Structure 1
Amino acid sequence: MGTERLKQTLRQDVQGMHAYAIQPSAGFIKLDAMENPFVLPPELQHALGERLGRAAINRYPAQRVADLAAALTAHVQLPAGQRLMLGNGSDELIDLLAVACDVPGATILAPVPGFVMYAMSAQLRGLNFVGVTLTADFQLDEAAMLAAIEQHRPAITYIAYPNNPTANLFDDAVIEKIVAAIGKQNGLVVFDEAYQPFSARTWLPRLGAHDHVLVLRTLSKFGLAGVRLGYLCGPTALIDEIDKVRPPYNVSVLNAEAGLFALEHAGEYARQAALLKEERTRLMAALSDVPGVQVFPSEANMVLVRVPDSKRTFEGMKQRGVLVKHVAGLHPLLQNCLRLTVGAPEENIVMIRALKESL
């Protein structure tokens, strides 16, 4: 397509932005994207294959998607008066929230560094984005958050719980003040619990205490990153409104069937999550003993570390066949930081050795 045509037909801000970066991973031990490293046991693979083969791919997926929503509602023990809606991953739900809340002059607010899709969805949907910098130890800056809420009156405030890429949970006492302040401004608070299977705390049982709080989750970290399923929970009347902007068949029948299958075998995924939490503890302990490596607290399936020269260490690990995420350029607070996904035991052994050799 000609350069002039591109200039005239595509939005200027889109032409100037960077696409979401996905690193080529073929041939590497892939520890850059917080994926569950475990595949299903062969007998479950066979059972899933047969089940997907029976799916009615000649029909629109309405009924099976409704079945999945009902199964998830039961699985997460959604409080009374709440409902959930499904998305093609939580990324789509972040976008749909921006669509639903795109009133003139609306703002989305979130702590930074945080998940990049909050700002990207705001930009693409024409909302303002305000990022409030965390403290040096990656906690919420209470005064700065409350001042920004007062000044900008955000339509949506995201609290990643735990946060990405820092992996920590924020202080609940500060969060409570933020929730109250947003309530007074008639905005929404969205707790993004993408890493809930690995976290010590969840906000979901507290849904219903406030009529302006939503909880966003994904099945990606549950172990279904390739299936693309997210869900948004909140007061029924509120979800009913947001659901109006959802494409009618946004979740495929194959995704829904795979999701139902996973919930029926939730014990296997719980076993995998428990193993990953044990590996996280071992990984953090091993890295804490390495001179020059600072390890930050984690409630997710990732560990943030600071090294003397992150570029050198990242490239050295890559040369040794281990792919992690170099996050130093995302925000000044992340200077010389790498984000390591917690892998299978044998992967973590190789990662630790590669990191030590690459310092």
Structure 2
Amino acid sequence: MNPRVQAALARIRQDVQGMHAYAIQDARGLIKLDAMENPYGLPPALQQELGRRLGAVALNRYPGPRIEELKAALARFVGLPDGAALMLGNGSDELISLLAMACDVPGAAILAPVPGFVMYEMSARLQGLRFVGVPLSPDFALDELALLAALRRERPAITYLAYPNNPTANLWDEGAVRRVIETAASFGGLVVIDEAYQPFASRTWLDVWRAEPEAHGHVLIMRTLSKFGLAGVRLGYLIGAQPLMHELDKVRPPYNVSSLNAEAALFALEHADEYARQATAIRAERARLLQALAAIPGVQPFPSEANMILVRVPDATKAFAGLRARGVLVKNVSTMHPLLAGCLRLTVGTPAENDALLAALPCSL
């Protein structure tokens, strides 16, 4: 190795050098069912109109008033609770990192059920915080006794509850979530309800917040437009009590959302009915897939409230390779956590993509 490179590497934290970067699979030439993306594009007429709008954006200027217009549009879209404010992020990934940065005080920890979204742990470690993972039950429910005990013992600055969870795709028991929220309140901890997959879920925690605002002063709700249908736009948003959001906004980089991203998001919200139609189609395909997967010998699909389905197969590595050889890319999550042994995560695609998956899977087991 070049000695100058070697000397420079010594300046990079050893724990960072020991970590693995977030892996993105090469999907070229494959049916892409690995990343929980909305498989539908815009109709041609809307594509042309969006292109015209983006072409008129003043790229020579920093993002300006359109950012505030986007925040106002999102507030109307979600029905922002009284006394709440909204903060934008470059995807929810940035918001997760900013939360870790804002809560980085000596001895602080971040807690989440596992298996869960890997960025909760990664952001904690990159910020030098402790991460506490509390295993789910074998059927992927919250282990409430273990979770509440960990909360009282660790007193984390942030507790993440993905609702629905990734990669298990299920919603948690409402009573258990309420008790987590109450326990965190006893020591002043934040609770972040991550609703990345809300367009496909049967309920949202935001409804509970609106009904019980006094119980949610320490609760943040995080969403993204990625699953809505704008994964390439990279836009997430965080909802919380105005005093909390005022402080959290101080760690947000200036101009963290580009003018192009903001314009694309505004356009999408103006055509929310089209994305709602797509979400309805995805939910219908999810139901069809669940039924068809359950009929394949050796395949165990788990209930889903997201645009993905977790399945257990006899040999996940073999099935993953077999699907890939047949042109279908899914996510092998079998080594992410012991509870996921033998599991693949399948994104719900278009009817044609799902048909291809169903044809290839039995031959890949």
Compute the TM-score of the two structures, normalised by the length of structure 1: 0.99
What is the match of residue 29 of structure 1?
A: 31
Looking at structure 2, the residues matched to 216 and 131 of structure 1 have their Cα atoms a distance apart, in angstroms, of 20
Paired residues in the alignment total 359
Note if 1:145 corresponds to 2:159: no
Report the CA distance between 1:245 and its aligned residue. Answer: 0.3
Report the CA distance between 1:205 and its aligned residue. Answer: 2.6
Once the two structures are superposed, what CA deviation does each residue of 1:102-161 show, in whole Å capped at 9, x if it has no partner? Answer: 111100000000000000000001111000000000000011001101110000000000
- Aligned-residue Cα RMSD (Å) equals 0.8
* 1:1-359 alignment runs, 5 A limit: 2=3, 4-207=6-209, 208=213, 209-359=215-365
Looking at structure 1, the residues matched to 231 and 9 of structure 2 have their Cα atoms a distance apart, in angstroms, of 35
Counterpart code for 1:248? P
CA contact (8 A) 1:165 1:339 kept: yes
Once the two structures are superposed, what CA deviation does each residue of 1:246-298 show, in whole Å capped at 9, x if it has no partner? Answer: 00100000000000000000000000000000000000000001111111010
Looking at structure 1, the residues matched to 346 and 138 of structure 2 have their Cα atoms a distance apart, in angstroms, of 20
Once structures 1 and 2 are overlaid, which stretch shifts more, 2-11 or 293-302?
2-11
For structure 2, the 5+ residue unaligned runs are none
Report the CA distance between 1:211 and its aligned residue. Answer: 0.6
For structure 1, the 5+ residue unaligned runs are none
Looking at structure 1, the residues matched to 294 and 329 of structure 2 have their Cα atoms a distance apart, in angstroms, of 20
Provide the secondary structure at the position in 1 that maps to 2:10: helix
CA contact (8 A) 1:309 1:336 kept: yes
CA contact (8 A) 1:78 1:205 kept: no
Compute the TM-score of the two structures, normalised by the length of structure 2: 0.97
Identity %: 65
Report the CA distance between 1:6 and its aligned residue. Answer: 4.3
Report the CA distance between 1:236 and its aligned residue. Answer: 0.7
Report the CA distance between 1:180 and its aligned residue. Answer: 0.4
Q: Which runs of 4+ in 1 moved over 6 A?
A: none
Report the CA distance between 1:59 and its aligned residue. Answer: 1.1
Report the CA distance between 1:206 and its aligned residue. Answer: 2.9
Provide the secondary structure at the position in 2 that maps to 1:228: coil
Looking at structure 2, the residues matched to 137 and 354 of structure 1 have their Cα atoms a distance apart, in angstroms, of 27
CA contact (8 A) 1:158 1:190 kept: yes
Report the CA distance between 1:201 and its aligned residue. Answer: 1.1
Looking at structure 2, the residues matched to 66 and 137 of structure 1 have their Cα atoms a distance apart, in angstroms, of 43
Provide the secondary structure at the position in 2 that maps to 1:330: coil
Report the CA distance between 1:7 and its aligned residue. Answer: 3.8
